[in-house]
Amino acid sequence: MLGYIVRRLLSAGLVVTLTSMIVFALFFLGPDNPAQPLCDINGKCTPERLALLTEQLGLNDTVYHQYWIWLQGLFVGREISFGPIYQCSAPCLGISYSTRNEVTAELLDKFPATLSLAIGGSLIYLLVGVFLGTMAARVRGTLADRGLVTMSLIVSSIPYYVLAILAWIYLSLEWQIFPDTTYHPLTDGIGAWAYGLLLPWLVLGLAQSTAYARYTRGQMVETLGEDYIRTATAKGVAKRKVIFQHALRAAIVPVITIFGLDFAFLLAGTVVTEEIFDIDGIGQWGIRALRAPVDFPVVAATVLIGAVIIVIANIIVDILYSFIDPRVRVS
């Protein structure tokens, strides 16, 4: 088990390192001089100023050297100068071109909103999706089952941003069911936090839950045909317990696998959700940084944090896995 965790952590570290290298490479392989946007930010960019910034940012050094410096910053901090000299403490992800703040500090500032949104949304789609899918499998073939599957297909065929915009326009603006969707950090109190996030959670969660409902239903129908389910019934186990205990326990494993694989989509979903409901999270921060003049350090930090989150999510999924399936535990 310990060896397994160590192996898992090593491979996770490798993935994050590779991602950082790719981000770094994109930085340099792009068509523009990375100093260009910085030069464009305030006023006229003269060739002299561009040359100076290029030199200050160390862009004349080899890529390897720059990556090394960047890594050093991550672990021990470093000085960055473009114009003034900035102290960037570890873990240093650079200085934002537009705000001149440490990227790490901004990241930490935006992170709770995104995390709240992602956890709430994914909990809703997992719980609602698995529950609906299980119920549909239980009554499979009936009108209720067919209705649920059809509804779910319809919802899934609408692009997510359309759904989110419609929800915002009607549920929030027009009908005022959720009049206020302002994000409040948890420090403002759990009530304010949850109240502001409720609609975004529901939109993100319910939209995704349809896919999980269909997937769970399929897994459940298959599992209900297994011999060990017949064994449980033949022992005298009550039907409800057969479905929600014996069958769900086995059917949930592939659902969790998909959950791990789908995590990138969840993050994409949070980006759109943050944009539409104006939540000041990492998604919105990253999108803003992409607008010209591009805020390279922020973009790099967003991609990196995305990779880290996906890697962590997959580790969690693997650990969950080994709790659910004893055959994984042994090997």
Partner 1 sequence: MTSERFLSTPAQSTSDRAADIAAADNFLVVDHLSVRFPTHDGLVQAVTDLSFSVKRGETLGIVGESGSGKSVSSMAVLGLHDAKSTRLEGSIRVGGQEVVGADESTLRKLRGKEVAMIFQDPLTALHPFYSVGRQIAEAYRIHHKVSKGEARKRAIEMLDRVGIPQAKNRVDDFPHQFSGGMRQRAMIAMSLVNDPKLLIADEPTTALDVTVQAQILDLLQDLQREFNSAIIMITHDLGVIAELADEVLVMYGGRAVETGATKQILTHPEMPYTWGLLSSVPEVSADEDARLIPIPGNPPSLLNPPSGCPFNPRCTHKDKVPGDLCVTTLPELLPARVGPSHRRRCHLPDPEVIYLTEVLPEIAPDLIDPTTGEPIAALQEIAAASEAEANADSRGDQR
**Residue ranges that bind partner 1, judged by CB under 8 A:** 141, 226-228, 230-239, 246, 249-250, 324-327, 330
Cβ-based neighbours of 194, under 8 Å, separated by 6 or more: none
Q: Cα 279 to chain center, whole Å?
A: 15
Please return the burial class of 287, using the count of CB atoms within 10 Å of its CB with bins 0-12, 13-18 and 19+.
middle
Q: Which is nearer to partner 1, 43 or 141 (CB)?
A: 141
- Shortest approach of partner 1 to residue 136 CB, angstroms? 15
- Shortest approach of partner 1 to residue 130 CB, angstroms? 16
Helices (H) and strands (E) in the chain, counts: 15, 2
Cβ-based neighbours of 136, under 8 Å, separated by 6 or more: 144, 145, 148, 149, 213, 217, 220
The answer to whether the CB of 275 falls within 8 A of the CB of 287 is yes
- Shortest approach of partner 1 to residue 230 CB, angstroms? 6
Give me the amino acid identity at 157: S
Q: Which is nearer to partner 1, 71 or 324 (CB)?
A: 324
| Cα separation, 276 vs 302, whole angstroms | 19
- Closest CA relative to residue 165, chosen from 153, 156, 174: 174
- Helix (H) or strand (E) segment spanning residue 88: strand 85-88
Q: Which is nearer to partner 1, 213 or 250 (CB)?
A: 250
Backbone angles phi, psi at 139, to 5 degrees: -110, 30
- Closest CA relative to residue 21, chosen from 304, 314, 264, 229: 304
- Closest CA relative to residue 275, chosen from 264, 288, 262, 260: 288
Backbone angles phi, psi at 281, to 5 degrees: -115, -170
- Shortest approach of partner 1 to residue 248 CB, angstroms? 11
- Shortest approach of partner 1 to residue 255 CB, angstroms? 14
- Shortest approach of partner 1 to residue 321 CB, angstroms? 11
Q: Which is nearer to partner 1, 100 or 241 (CB)?
A: 241
Both tokens assigned to 56:
């200050």
Q: Which is nearer to partner 1, 145 or 275 (CB)?
A: 145
Q: Which is nearer to partner 1, 184 or 246 (CB)?
A: 246
Q: Cα 269 to chain center, whole Å?
A: 8
- Shortest approach of partner 1 to residue 246 CB, angstroms? 6
- Shortest approach of partner 1 to residue 137 CB, angstroms? 13
Q: Which is nearer to partner 1, 65 or 249 (CB)?
A: 249
Q: Which is nearer to partner 1, 43 or 236 (CB)?
A: 236
